[in-house]
């Protein structure tokens, strides 16, 4: 966590000392921040090559990824979860094809990062810089073997900052200087290395102790510009799309969940603000998946208890990643609860019904439906009718909110369960409110029980009065008795 934030600060301080023109510093700043986002587009293929893609990437910082050191690292990771003979056979295959496969992966990485930068509106300068992420000063890099000053200065600065941060964090400034200096003239531009070595103490000052999020935000070249609501939706949409690239079976999942959740919110009569909140939360609800290895996501057999613990962590990571973004607090709260369940059987926190609001309940149902109708490595996709029955079964058992489930299924094009309409055109929610009114509950009590605001309760009560042609609670209670609606407030009946 925070690797790219610290790297961006190192790169920006390096660029300043090198006299990089102001116009190019935005490319240094944002190029560092998003340079590694492309790795999620090739995680599936990388995991097939080396097993745990996250552990492999961590180990790449200890070597120069070229020639025999690169091949030896790949062979060490390849097939590590297989038996001796299978691992040996896999090592031979990997060794024969390693360079071509790595070149293909790196090309995918760079083009994916460029696509994200373009979709996020970061500008052509950032997009251009990202093409050189894995090039080397000596020309032995990938994918094009560009060398020397043909590599943009911003890319040369980013390369040093990326490696220096890892060794600074794990072993201190002395080790960072040692590693960077050792790769001078090979992986790194000599001029950039010389500036880093000379001023390393000042360049890295405070990075391990300060609030690097705030420091990085303060350094942003466009820090005084605020995104419009539509620009924010575009940015969150791009983030969701790139999270889905991590696993082929997730392609389009985030946007589909977002659209379904917004449609369900509309079906439930939720406000425009609530609909937009759900749409945004749907776009980024799976962001924490990036913190779990593809060796787990792509597994075809049952997960081990340790693997399940990693999976159960990803909604927390979603919140962890987004928690510092000013203005997204409500989005983060909803997005990080999409795997929680009313009976406390969900994760990551085991939150129960009283603490799960309407938006979280809708998003949980929308995500559950989409996951069921999408294939997974361990099973084929369910049919739409099978998914609908599964959701209704979870609603009956108290895991999912019944009203949210029906709203999601309506938005997905399913017909609701056949039953006699409520009298006077009352909705399910209005019947719930009427039953509680008839039992003497106050607006505050009703709001607490149904997890809605008192203002929403007042609106429901007014609608009930109008539809029943009454003007007070006593008359409404009598009308409830007359219509046979004075039963339990816990549900809406059959």
Three-class HEC string of 280-325: HHHHHCCHHHHHCCHHHHCCCCCCCHHHHHHHHHHHHHHHHHHCCC
- Examine the fold and report which residue of 370, 385, 411 is the final residue of a domain before the chain moves on: 411
Same domain, 309 and 204: no
For the stretch 164-173, pLDDT in tens is 999 999 999 9
Average pLDDT score over residue span 139-167: 96
For the stretch 172-209, pLDDT in tens is 999 999 999 999 999 999 999 999 999 999 999 999 98
Residue 440 phi, psi (nearest 5): 85, 10
pLDDT band at 490 (very low <50, low <70, confident <90, very high): very low
Same domain, 268 and 176: no
Place of tokens 């300043």: 16
Domain assignment of residue 310, yes or no: yes
- Examine the fold and report which residue of 358, 382, 411 is the final residue of a domain before the chain moves on: 411
Domain assignment of residue 224, yes or no: no
Q: How far is CA 287 from CA 64, 262, 367, in A?
A: 30, 19, 13
Same domain, 185 and 311: no
Same domain, 233 and 213: no
Same domain, 198 and 235: no
Domain assignment of residue 488, yes or no: no
The answer on pLDDT for 491 being more than 50 is no
Q: What is the CATH number of the domain that holds 385?
A: 1.10.3210.10
Same domain, 315 and 200: no
Domain assignment of residue 114, yes or no: yes
Q: How far is CA 103 from CA 37, 66, 68, 142, 149, in A?
A: 17, 11, 15, 6, 22
**pLDDT at position 236:** 94
Structure tokens at 250: 């997730």
Q: Quote the CA–CA distance of 215 and 210 in Å, as a whole number.
A: 8
Domain assignment of residue 76, yes or no: yes
Same domain, 392 and 446: no
Q: What is the CATH number of the domain that holds 469?
A: 1.10.10.10
DSSP state of 300: -
- The pLDDT mean for the chain works out to 89
pLDDT band at 493 (very low <50, low <70, confident <90, very high): very low
Q: What are the residues facing 343 on neighbouring strands?
A: 352
**pLDDT at position 489:** 45
Which residues constitute the domain of residue 467? 423-482
The answer on pLDDT for 246 being more than 80 is yes
Same domain, 344 and 404: yes
Task: Provide the 10 A C-beta neighbour count for residue 465.
Answer: 18
Place of tokens 């998946």: 289
Q: How far is CA 471 from CA 223, 467, 475, 485, in A?
A: 54, 10, 7, 18
Residues with Cβ within 8 Å of 81's Cβ and at least 6 positions away in sequence, in order, are 51, 295
Same domain, 96 and 197: yes
Structure tokens at 330: 């409500």
Same domain, 239 and 166: no
Same domain, 379 and 427: no
Structure tokens at 222: 């466009």
Same domain, 149 and 281: no
The answer on pLDDT for 87 being more than 80 is no
Q: Are 443 and 454 in contact (CB under 8 A)?
A: yes
Domain assignment of residue 417, yes or no: no
Average pLDDT score over residue span 21-47: 86
- Examine the fold and report which residue of 219, 247, 277 is the final residue of a domain before the chain moves on: 219
Number of domains in the chain: 3
The answer on pLDDT for 281 being more than 60 is yes
Domain assignment of residue 13, yes or no: yes
For the stretch 439-476, pLDDT in tens is 778 898 899 888 888 999 999 999 999 999 888 877 88
For the stretch 203-233, pLDDT in tens is 999 999 889 999 999 999 888 888 899 999 9
Domain assignment of residue 487, yes or no: no
Structure tokens at 19: 């006299």
């Amino acid at each position: 966590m925070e690797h790219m934030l610290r790297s961006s600060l190192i790169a920006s301080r390096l660029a300043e000392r090198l006299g990089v023109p102001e116009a190019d510093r935005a490319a240094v700043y944002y190029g560092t921040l998003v340079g590694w986002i492309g790795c999620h587009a090739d995680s599936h293929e990388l995991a097939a090559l080396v097993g745990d893609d996250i552990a492999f990437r961590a180990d790449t910082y200890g070597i120069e990824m070229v020639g025999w050191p690169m091949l030896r690292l790949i062979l060490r990771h390849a097939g590590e979860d297989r038996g001796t003979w299978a691992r040996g056979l896999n090592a031979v295959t990997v060794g024969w094809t390693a360079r071509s496969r790595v070149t293909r992966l790196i090309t995918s990485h760079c083009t994916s990062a460029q696509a994200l930068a373009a979709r996020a509106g970061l500008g052509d300068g950032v997009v251009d810089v990202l093409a050189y992420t894995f090039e080397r000063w000596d020309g032995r890099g990938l994918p094009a073997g560009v060398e020397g000053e043909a590599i943009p200065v911003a890319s040369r600065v980013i390369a040093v900052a990326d490696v220096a941060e890892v060794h600074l964090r794990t072993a201190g400034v002395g080790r960072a200087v040692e590693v960077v200096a050792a790769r001078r003239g090979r992986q790194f531009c000599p001029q950039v290395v010389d500036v880093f070595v000379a001023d390393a103490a000042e360049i890295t000052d405070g990075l391990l102790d300060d609030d690097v999020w705030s420091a990085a935000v303060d350094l942003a070249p466009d820090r005084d510009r605020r995104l419009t609501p539509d620009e924010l939706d575009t940015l969150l949409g791009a983030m969701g799309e790139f999270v889905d690239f991590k696993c082929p079976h997730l392609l389009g999942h985030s946007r589909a969940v977002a659209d379904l959740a917004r449609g369900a919110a509309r079906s439930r009569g939720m406000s425009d603000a609530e609909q937009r909140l759900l749409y945004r939360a749907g776009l980024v609800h799976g962001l924490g998946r990036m913190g779990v290895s593809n060796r787990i996501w792509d597994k075809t057999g049952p997960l081990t208890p340790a693997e399940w613990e990693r999976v159960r962590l990803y909604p927390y990571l979603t919140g962890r990643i987004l928690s510092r973004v000013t203005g997204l607090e409500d989005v983060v709260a909803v997005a990080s609860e999409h795997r929680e369940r009313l009976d406390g059987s969900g994760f990551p926190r085991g939150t129960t019904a009283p603490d799960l609001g309407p938006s979280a309940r809708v998003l949980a149902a929308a995500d559950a439906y989409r996951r069921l109708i999408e294939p997974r490595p361990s099973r084929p996709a369910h049919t739409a009718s099978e998914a609908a029955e599964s959701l209704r079964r979870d609603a009956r058992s108290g895991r999912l909110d019944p009203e949210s489930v029906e709203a999601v299924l309506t938005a997905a094009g399913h017909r609701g369960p056949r039953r006699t309409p409520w009298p006077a055109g009352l909705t399910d929610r209005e019947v719930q409110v009427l039953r509680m009114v008839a039992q003497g509950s106050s607006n505050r009590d009703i709001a607490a029980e149904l997890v809605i605001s008192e203002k929403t309760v007042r609106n429901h009560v007014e609608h009930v009065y109008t539809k029943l042609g009454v003007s007070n609670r006593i008359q409404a209670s009598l009308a409830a008795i007359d219509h046979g609606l004075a039963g339990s407030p816990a549900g809406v009946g059959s």
